[in-house]
Structure 1
Amino acid sequence: MQARAAAPIPRDQSGSRSGGRASPSNTARRHLRAIELSGPDVPPPPASLVQRLALYAFEVLEGTRVVTQLGGWITIEVAETLRARRALRVERETAMRDRRRRIAMPGRAHLSSPLPHVIEATVLLHVEPRATVVALRLEHHRDRWRATDITVL
């Protein structure tokens, strides 16, 4: 039985052997280059804006607010995600025959900035008898903050 020599892995433009695949570090570097980091420092969004946006996302899932009311504050991808999660919640409520209306009161917003022009935030929503958390990622683009990711836990 003869042993076959393994074919050499091609080198990419940076000279590293990646086998034609982008490594996570290369992907992250490309993503960082794509983000516009130039320009003046941008103040973070007010905490009240982040709290309202979290509350509105929760209300969309509850069915007391429509996604189009968030229009300029969210991206199209976030709107599609909220619509899909709302449809799943309606299906679950129908199956369980649960027609309760839950009203949330937003707590304090916790903001952090992993990159310039990017804010990641969490808001605790107090809903009787429990609490729920909303995680948001906001990016500053064209003189305004827009949510590029919203997750209601």
Structure 2
Amino acid sequence: MSVLTAPAVPVPLAPAPPDLGPDWDPVAFSVTAGSCHRDDQDLTSRPQLVWSNGRRRELPDPQTWAGTVARACVEALRGIRPAAQLHRWLDPEVFTALHRRAALAARVRRHPLRRRVVRIRRVRPCRVAPGVWEAAVVLVDGSRVRAAAVRIEEHRGHWRATAMQIA
């Protein structure tokens, strides 16, 4: 009596990372979200947020904040910082795109990156409208100098990045 058995076929444990070519840059990133700010909305007539001690809540300096969020995004794309930490700082569309890009970069990365500190060289902010700023940021990510453009908008008493481009 003979028993028929199926030939052994190896089953892949995880999908192979996509072949993106040798020139693919895991940190280069660009996304623009739908704007939280509307031109017909007058930000000066809205009620100010007030702390329990009666003091008004001031927004942080846009120059410092834009540099910090650009540095944090580069760190997330390099795998130094979890992308989930940026959830409160980014518009939902920007966060989703950054999170996906960071996950792809982690899958494609063949060897772990050295944990070099990302440094901010220069931030040049420009006020676009009340509660809306854009900034050009120059960063050093350990292996090269990068440029980033960030658009931040006031959202419920704090800054939120609504557009990010890193080259």
Say whether residues 1:32 and 2:39 are aligned partners.
Answer: yes
Higher RCO (C-alpha under 8 Å, 6+ residues apart): 2
CA distance in structure 2 between the aligned counterparts of 1:113 and 1:44, rounded to whole angstroms? 14
Q: CA deviation at 1:38?
A: 3.5
1:88-107 to structure 2, matched below 5 A, reads: 88-94=104-110, 98-101=111-114, 102-107=116-121
Preserved CA contact (<8 Å) 1:51 1:107: no
**Length, aligned pairs only:** 118
- The list of structure 1 runs, each at least 4 consecutive aligned residues, that deviate by more than 3 angstroms after superposition, is none
Say whether residues 1:116 and 2:135 are aligned partners.
Answer: no
Q: Residues 129, 83 of structure 1: CA spacing in aligned structure 2 closer, same or farther, 3 A cutoff?
A: closer
CA distance in structure 2 between the aligned counterparts of 1:66 and 1:128, rounded to whole angstroms? 18
CA distance in structure 2 between the aligned counterparts of 1:38 and 1:106, rounded to whole angstroms? 30
Structure 2 gaps, min length 5: 1-37, 46-57
Preserved CA contact (<8 Å) 2:72 2:86: yes
1:122-133 to structure 2, matched below 5 A, reads: 122-133=136-147
> What is the aligned-residue identity percentage?
30
CA distance in structure 1 between the aligned counterparts of 2:65 and 2:150, rounded to whole angstroms? 12
Preserved CA contact (<8 Å) 2:91 2:160: yes
Normalising to structure 2: TM-score of the pair?
Answer: 0.61
CA distance in structure 2 between the aligned counterparts of 1:82 and 1:48, rounded to whole angstroms? 21
Say whether residues 1:140 and 2:154 are aligned partners.
Answer: yes
Preserved CA contact (<8 Å) 1:45 1:145: no
User: In structure 2, what is the equivalent of residue 87 of structure 1?
Assistant: 103
Q: CA deviation at 1:137?
A: 0.7
Q: CA deviation at 1:60?
A: 0.7
Aligned-partner SS, 2:128: strand
RMSD over aligned CA atoms reads: 2.4
CA distance in structure 2 between the aligned counterparts of 1:128 and 1:69, rounded to whole angstroms? 21
Q: Deviations over 1:96-135 (max 9, x none)?
A: xx43324321112110122221101121111344201121
Q: CA deviation at 1:48?
A: 2.3
Say whether residues 1:72 and 2:88 are aligned partners.
Answer: yes
